[in-house]
């Protein structure tokens, strides 16, 4: 009989405690970010899709067309091509496409690059209705940016 | 050391079966059937090879000694026209691992089920049947588990092409 | 037709339009409160996009629900399936007819008001049973079976509490019940310890039973979204679904109104000053808030836990309360 | 026409729970044979999220499989990576620098806390309480922020490499982790009062879903499931890998065998994980984070090996069979959820539907981990 009453009162007490906890949370500030109006800054190591890095001095992509990224990519979504211009010391890039539909953002390509020629972009809100939009021409992108 | 008492029991049943080659061994070389292996480099403490008809016996030994079934899987040795079925057992107190290997012919991939001894073997055997087409005789419900119910292919066979 | 009758007719139409508007607006905005209150508890802003502070959200929800196709599952009992959402709203609205909001604002004041509310209140269960059964869906059928068992179990302690209260008030007339409690909070039935020292407990029992009767969490067996998908409402789409929700909030409102009238002195000011409509509304909305607060604080009870609570705790307490009230009335009056 | 009373009494119906059901957390389907609300037979139908990771492991080089590990059990992605790189390192004989092992332990344990926090919220949603989920997410986000600052991703971390880790941790991360531990420690009493002590929660989980230690052994159930059955089996203790031997921590186990025991195991594990992280941060050695001379394309010697780690859900094992080429000859992933789920059929018979869902929730299932 005593345990019967004890259980009821203890149960009621725990329920009151639960309600107190939710009530006290009322007075705490919101922790959410209201996305389209505010957004967070991506951390420096954030792995977005890749972008070509340009040489500060010449303004041209640093890529030497060694194909390491293409080989390292597990999904086979990087395709690049280069040609050696007359008199140039090394190959230069003629095309660099990233098939973002297949990319799994693993970052193995950036790691494989010995020339720091690709980096992660900080873009995270890519959206489109067309599949073709994700066949990214990174060379065109980097030239347009300038 | 939980594997010590098991060793002699396994040896007793292992020699009665037909010897089968172990992975990495040269063809024709004598192979110990009950092999103590270093845990640090293999992750396995006792490597037992038995024939298909002795597998239930071998598993019963482990069951009586309170070993836990970890996984059942297969390996397709296409060049040798064999399937290897691998049973992994671990002991919850010592963390030791016993691997029981069975080699069966690729042309007639059949061996008895152990699902009546270890309930968990039911799903593992179904999975192995899915992937390799190995038939576990006496299994209560050998239908595709992870593959679609109408799957007639076995993707982990080395000669499988999508 | 005499001028009296015309006056009566005009009065009725005015009340009807006024109360329907009030009831439905309330139901609509309680859905907003239902979304806003948990958002405050859960450290997030809740709906804020539609209108200032999200105030137009119920309108947007309503338009969305109206625009949706009404699907009827194969094998459903068509008539009952369509009838159930209507049947579930009507008793909620009808109950409001007899509720006195203040001294003057009472649509129809008649002697058996309390009885009528409980009669219609039980009717809503029937509608949910019909809807769940007619859906031809196993989840709905389970929910329909649950809701009947639950409501039978909770009707008993609720009525036992109300009967003990009627012992004290000696009337079913809600207007009279409020008038008996005028003059400050120490006159309210919830603190009417002279009638029965268990009155606060009786109020608690009433509140719990009201949660169960309106199928609110932690007793929301009828919806139980993590078990039964959406329970009895699984197959409803568009406004059919919307009507069930309107009914749910209407029922909460009726339950809170009755609680206010029976236990909290209706439109009486806690300090005996300035009685009026605003006090009634404040008390009612505080109760509504408590209902929502409870929902967002606890997990759902298990079905047998719910029945155990009713049969092993609430009914014994309600019976003791009934006996005690009868005994004390006999002793002191 | 007379109705056979017995046949009416024995009438059962099939309830199709899932593949899209709020309580199955993904694409799990359970074919329930019900007698009223009682479960007569529950047959899980899995494989809707099957991606054949094991075949992918055979088709690509060892390094290229690394991103896959984050997608097997995506809630505790680091453990899969740990199991995989551990197996390959064991077979290749790579020694990992100590600092890298410490970083692995710190990030893994953070991942374990994150996983358990998500489970806590999701379990309460299974039981019908929604608010704890949001509080858990609030805490979990802090961990994800920390891990994002190191690994670059919030969920599918692809962080461990053969021979080490790909990024070093910095002082900001260490300070952030310490302040997170302080924060979570101060939040634990709130969870205790809000969830553990709550009478409704206790009635829902105490004595519900009993699983005996013997059943766990037969089905190979590991992790909090077996520890909730009174067996303190934890790979970190019985088969120590990485640098777990250097840390002082307890393996919680409860003998009640019910959902509450599994719940308490996980809560206590979060506390123990925080202990491990603190110790690791205190004694974090300096040095390289990658082993030297790990070739870009690994070619392992012929042979096979097994490597086991304690994932948030149980023991995650990887068996690598190599034939000496660039790709694995066979890669077996032994996922804990697969074994844990397989005992559901035996344990749920005769239970009420909501209780069975509480049992299902207490397994902490991640369906892609079952399906692989």
Q: Which residues on chain A are in Cβ contact (under 8 Å) with D71?
A: 104
Three-state secondary-structure class, residue A62: coil
Distance in Å, alpha carbon of A18 to nearest chain D alpha carbon: 5
Whole-prediction pTM = 0.88
Q: Give the pLDDT confidence score for residue C156 in this predicted structure.
A: 87
pLDDT of residue B22: 47
- Closest approach of chain A CAs to the CA of D131, in angstroms? 8
**Which of D 220-279 lie inside 8 A of B, CB atoms?**
220-222, 226, 231, 233, 235, 237-239
Residues in chain A, pLDDT under 50: none
Task: Compute the distance between CA of residue C201 and CA of residue C292 in angstroms, rounded to an integer.
Answer: 21
What chains are in contact with A, requiring at least 3 Cβ pairs below 8 Å? C, D
Distance CA D135, CA D128 (A): 15
| CB-based contact, D293 to chain A, within 8 Å | no
* pLDDT for B28 beyond 60: no
- Shortest distance, CA B120 to any CA of chain D (angstroms): 4
Q: What is the pLDDT of residue B15?
A: 55
Taking an 8 Å cut-off on Cβ atoms, the answer to whether D306 and B23 are in contact is no
Q: What is the pLDDT of residues C168-210, one digit of tens each?
A: 888 888 888 888 887 777 778 777 777 777 888 888 899 998 8
Contact A45 D148 (CB under 8 A): yes
- Flag whether pLDDT at B14 surpasses 70: no
Q: What residue spans of chain B are helical by DSSP H?
A: 4-14, 39-42, 55-64, 121-132
Q: Which residues contact D356 (CB under 8 A, 6 or more apart)?
A: D32, D39, D42, D209, D348
D242-287 pLDDT, tens digit each: 888 888 888 888 888 889 999 999 999 999 999 999 999 998 888 8
Whether residue C42 and residue D135 make contact (CB cut-off 8 A), yes or no, is yes
Average pLDDT for C124-147 = 86
Q: How far is CA C332 from CA C196, C327, D312, in A?
A: 11, 9, 66
A97 near A137, Cβ under 8 Å? yes
More confident position, C119 or B27 = C119
CB atoms within 10 A of CB B36: 13
* Contact status, residue D318 vs residue D66, Cβ threshold 8 Å: no
Look at A15 and D153 and tell me if their CB atoms are within 8 Å.
Answer: no
**Subunits in contact with chain D (3 or more CB pairs closer than 8 Å):** A, B, C
Alpha-carbon distance A5 to nearest alpha carbon in chain C (angstroms): 9
Name the least confident of C32-46, C97-111, C280-294, D47-61.
C97-111
pLDDT category, B31, cuts 50, 70, 90?
A: very low
Q: How far is D210 from D260, CA to CA, in rounded Å?
A: 10
H/E element, B50: strand B46-50
Who among C43, C297, C313 is closest to A30 (CB)?
C43
Contact yes or no for A8 and C48 at CB 8 A: no
pLDDT tens digit string along B41-82? 788 888 888 878 778 888 888 888 888 888 898 888 888 888
Cα-flanking dihedrals φ and ψ of residue D38, to 5°? -90, 140
Model pLDDT, residue C305? 84
Question: Is-contact C100 C269, C-beta < 8 A?
Answer: no
pLDDT digits (tens, 9 = 90+) for C261-311: 888 888 877 776 777 788 888 888 999 999 999 988 888 888 888 888 888
> Mean pLDDT across the stretch D183-187?
91
Q: Do C226 and D15 touch (CB under 8 A)?
A: no
Q: How many CB atoms lie within 10 A of CB D97?
A: 18
> Minimal Cα–Cα distance from D52 to chain B, Å?
8
Write down the pLDDT at residue B27.
44
Q: Residue D161's pLDDT band (boundaries 50, 70, 90)? A: confident
**D300: exposed, middle or buried (Cβ count in 10 Å: 0-12, 13-18, 19+):** buried
A141 compared with B148, residue with greater pLDDT: B148
Nearest to C43 among D128, D138, D354 (CB): D138
- Say whether the A–C interface has 3 or more Cβ pairs within 8 Å: yes
**Is C293–A22 a contact, with Cβ atoms under 8 angstroms apart?**
yes
Buried b (16+ CB within 10 A) or exposed e, B108-131: ebebbbbbeebbbbbbbbbbbbbb
DSSP class per residue in D246-286: GS-------SS-SHHHHHHHHHHHHHHHHHHHHHHHHTPPP
Whole-complex ipTM: 0.86
Question: Residue D104: helix, strand or coil by DSSP?
Answer: helix
Residue % of chain D over a pLDDT of 70: 97
Q: Choose among C45, C296, C297: nearest Cβ to A32.
A: C45
| C297 neighbourhood in chain D, CB within 8 Å | 129, 131
- Residue D88 touches partner A, C-beta closer than 8 Å: no
Q: In this predicted model, what pLDDT tens digit does every residue of D332-344 receive, in sequence order? A: 999 998 998 888 8
Rounded to 10 deg, the angle between the C138-169 and C315-332 helix axes is: 10
Average the pLDDT over D132-136 and give the result.
Answer: 90
The CA distance from D101 to D99, in Å, is 5
- Range of lowest pLDDT (B129-133, C143-147, D6-10, D56-60): D6-10
pLDDT number for residue D117: 92
Whether the predicted pLDDT of D113 surpasses 90 = yes
For residue A15, the surrounding DSSP H or E stretch is helix A2-25
Residues of D in contact with C300 (CB under 8 A): 127-129, 200, 204, 354
Distance from CA of A41 to the nearest CA of C (A): 20
Length of chain A: 146
What pLDDT does residue D114 have? 92
Is there a contact between B101 and B84 (Cβ–Cβ < 8 Å)? yes
Q: Do A104 and D156 touch (CB under 8 A)?
A: yes
- C–B touching, 3+ CB–CB pairs within 8 Å: no
């Amino acid at each position: 009989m005593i345990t019967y009453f004890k259980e009821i009162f203890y149960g009621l007490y725990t329920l009151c405690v639960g309600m107190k906890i939710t009530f006290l949370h009322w007075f705490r500030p919101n922790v959410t970010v209201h996305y389209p109006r505010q957004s967070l800054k991506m951390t420096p190591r954030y792995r977005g899709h890749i972008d070509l890095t340009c040489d500060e001095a010449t303004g041209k992509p640093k890529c030497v067309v060694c194909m390491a990224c293409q080989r390292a990519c597990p999904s086979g979504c990087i395709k690049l091509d280069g040609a050696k211009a007359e008199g140039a010391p090394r190959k230069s890039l003629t095309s660099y496409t990233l098939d973002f539909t297949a990319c799994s953002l693993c970052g193995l390509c950036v790691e494989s690059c010995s020339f720091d020629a690709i980096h992660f972009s900080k873009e995270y809100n890519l959206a489109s209705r067309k599949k073709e939009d994700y066949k990214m021409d990174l060379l065109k992108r980097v030239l347009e940016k300038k | 050391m939980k594997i010590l008492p098991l060793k002699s029991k396994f040896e007793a049943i292992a020699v009665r079966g037909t010897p089968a080659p172990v992975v990495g061994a040269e063809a024709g070389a004598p192979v110990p059937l009950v092999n103590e292996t270093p845990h640090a480099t293999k992750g396995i403490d006792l490597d037992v090879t038995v024939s298909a008809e002795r597998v239930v016996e071998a598993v019963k030994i482990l069951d009586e000694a309170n070993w836990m079934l970890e996984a059942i899987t297969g390996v397709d040795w296409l060049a040798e026209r064999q399937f290897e079925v691998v049973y992994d057992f671990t002991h919850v107190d010592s963390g030791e691992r016993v691997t029981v290997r069975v080699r069966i012919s690729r042309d007639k991939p059949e061996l008895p089920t152990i699902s009546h001894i270890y309930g968990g073997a039911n799903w593992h055997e179904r999975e192995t049947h899915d992937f390799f087409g190995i038939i576990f005789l006496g299994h209560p419900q050998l239908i595709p588990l992870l593959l679609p119910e109408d799957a007639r292919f076995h993707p982990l066979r080395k000669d499988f092409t999508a | 037709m005499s001028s009296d009758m015309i006056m009566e007719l005009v009065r009725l139409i005015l009340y009807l339009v006024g109360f329907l508007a009030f009831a439905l607006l309330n139901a609509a905005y309680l859905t907003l409160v239902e979304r806003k209150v948990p958002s405050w508890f859960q450290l997030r802003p809740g709906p804020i996009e539609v209108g200032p502070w999200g105030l137009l959200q119920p309108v947007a929800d309503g338009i969305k629900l109206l625009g949706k196709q009404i699907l009827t599952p194969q094998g459903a009992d068509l008539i009952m399936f369509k009838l159930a959402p209507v049947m579930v709203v009507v008793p909620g609205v009808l109950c409001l007819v007899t509720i006195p909001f203040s001294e003057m604002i009472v649509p129809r004041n008649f002697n058996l008001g309390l009885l009528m509310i409980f009669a219609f209140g039980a009717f809503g269960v029937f509608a949910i049973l019909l809807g769940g059964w007619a859906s031809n869906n196993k989840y709905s059928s389970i929910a329909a079976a649950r809701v009947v068992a639950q409501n039978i179990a909770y009707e008993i302690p609720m009525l036992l509490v109300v009967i003990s209260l009627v012992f004290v008030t000696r009337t079913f007339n809600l207007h009279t019940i409020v008038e008996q409690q005028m003059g400050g909070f120490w006159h309210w039935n919830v603190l009417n310890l002279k009638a029965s020292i268990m009155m606060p407990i009786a109020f608690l029992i009433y509140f719990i039973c009201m949660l169960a009767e309106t199928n609110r969490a932690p007793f929301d067996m009828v919806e139980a979204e993590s078990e039964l998908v959406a329970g009895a409402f699984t197959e409803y789409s568009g406004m059919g679904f919307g009507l069930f929700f309107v009914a749910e909030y209407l029922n909460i409102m009726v339950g809170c109104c009755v609680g206010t009238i029976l236990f909290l002195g209706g439109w009486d000011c806690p300090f005996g000053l300035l009685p009026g409509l605003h006090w009634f509304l404040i008390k009612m909305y505080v109760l509504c808030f408590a209902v929502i607060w409870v929902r967002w604080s606890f997990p759902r009870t298990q079905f047998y836990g719910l029945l155990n609570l009713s049969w092993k705790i609430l009914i014994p307490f309600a019976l003791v309360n009934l006996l005690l009230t009868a005994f004390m009335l006999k002793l002191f009056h | 026409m007379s109705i056979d009373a017995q046949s009416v009494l024995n009438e059962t119906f099939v309830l199709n729970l899932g593949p899209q059901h709020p309580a199955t957390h993904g694409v799990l389907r359970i074919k329930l044979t019900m007698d009223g609300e009682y479960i007569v037979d529950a047959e899980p139908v899995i494989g809707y999220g099957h991606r054949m990771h094991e075949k992918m492991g055979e088709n690509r080089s060892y390094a290229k499989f690394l991103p896959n590990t984050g997608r097997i059990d995506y809630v505790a992605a680091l453990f899969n990576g740990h199991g995989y790189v551990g197996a390959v390192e064991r077979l290749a004989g790579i020694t990992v620098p100590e600092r890298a092992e410490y970083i692995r332990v710190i990030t893994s344990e953070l991942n374990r806390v994150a996983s358990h926090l998500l489970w806590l919220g999701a379990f309460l949603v299974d039981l019908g309480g929604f608010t704890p989920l949001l509080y858990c997410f609030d805490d979990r986000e802090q961990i994800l922020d920390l891990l994002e600052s190191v690994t670059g991703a919030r969920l599918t971390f692809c962080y461990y490499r053969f021979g080490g880790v790909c990024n070093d941790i910095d002082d900001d991360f260490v300070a952030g982790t310490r302040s997170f531990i302080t924060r979570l420690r101060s939040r634990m009493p709130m969870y205790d009062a809000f969830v553990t002590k709550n009478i409704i929660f206790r009635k829902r989980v105490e004595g519900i879903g009993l699983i005996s230690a013997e059943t766990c052994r037969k089905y190979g159930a590991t992790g909090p499931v077996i520890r909730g059955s009174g067996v303190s089996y934890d790979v970190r203790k019985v088969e120590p890998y990485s640098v777990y031997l250097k840390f002082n921590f307890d393996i919680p186990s409860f003998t009640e065998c019910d959902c509450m025991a599994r719940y308490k195991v996980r809560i206590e594990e979060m506390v123990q994980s925080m202990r491990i992280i603190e110790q690791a941060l205190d004694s974090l050695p300096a040095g390289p984070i990658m082993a030297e001379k790990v070739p870009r394309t690994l070619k392992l010697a012929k042979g096979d090996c097994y490597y086991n780690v304690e994932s948030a859900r149980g023991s995650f094992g990887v068996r690598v069979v190599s034939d000496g080429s660039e790709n694995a000859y066979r890669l077996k992933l032994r996922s804990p959820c697969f074994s844990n789920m397989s005992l559901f059929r035996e344990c749920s018979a005769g239970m009420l539907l909501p209780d069975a869902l509480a049992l299902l929730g207490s397994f902490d299932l991640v369906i892609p981990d079952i399906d692989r």
